[in-house]
Each structure stands twice: as structure tokens, then as C-alpha cells.
């Protein structure tokens, strides 16, 4: 009886695992995501500089005229 209960539980868990496996990201997908994150991290300083420059010209000393 106890072994049968364990076998049923294992079967249910295996079914659940098989159902969820297709949802997992492949190694290729993970590599693409890592590349995307790296590219975004590399471009962020340039974006921040552009924002800072526009802020400077709109609100900073860049708008002062003599």
C-alpha cells in the first residue's frame, strides 16, 4: 500500500514535470537573453549621457544667454 502511494506520487510528479518542461528556456534562448542584457548594459551610459545633455540644455547652464 505504501509503495503504491509512493508510485502514484512519483507518477503525478513526473506528469507535472513533463507538462512544465516545454516552458523552460533553451540554452540558445538563455544565450540570446544574456547577449541582450549585455548590450543593454553597454548602451545605458550613452542613453544617460544623452538625457543629461538634453536636461542641461533645457534646464541647466546651456539655456543661459548673454
Q: What pLDDT does 64 receive?
A: 55
Domain ranges of the chain: 25-66
What's the chain's Rg over C-alpha atoms?
27
* Measured distance CA(28)–CA(36) in Å, rounded: 12
Query: What percentage of the chain carries pLDDT values higher than 70?
Result: 89
* Measured distance CA(6)–CA(16) in Å, rounded: 15
Would you place residue 1 in the very low, low, confident or very high pLDDT band (cuts 50, 70, 90)?
A: confident
Please write the tens of the pLDDT for every residue from 8-28: 999 999 999 899 888 887 888
Amino acid at each position: 500500500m505504501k509503495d503504491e502511494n509512493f508510485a502514484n506520487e512519483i507518477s503525478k510528479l513526473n506528469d507535472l514535470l513533463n507538462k512544465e518542461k516545454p516552458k523552460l528556456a533553451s540554452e540558445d534562448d538563455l544565450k540570446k537573453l544574456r547577449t541582450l542584457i549585455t548590450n543593454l548594459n553597454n548602451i545605458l551610459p550613452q542613453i544617460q549621457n544623452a538625457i543629461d545633455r538634453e536636461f542641461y540644455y533645457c534646464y541647466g547652464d546651456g539655456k543661459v544667454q548673454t
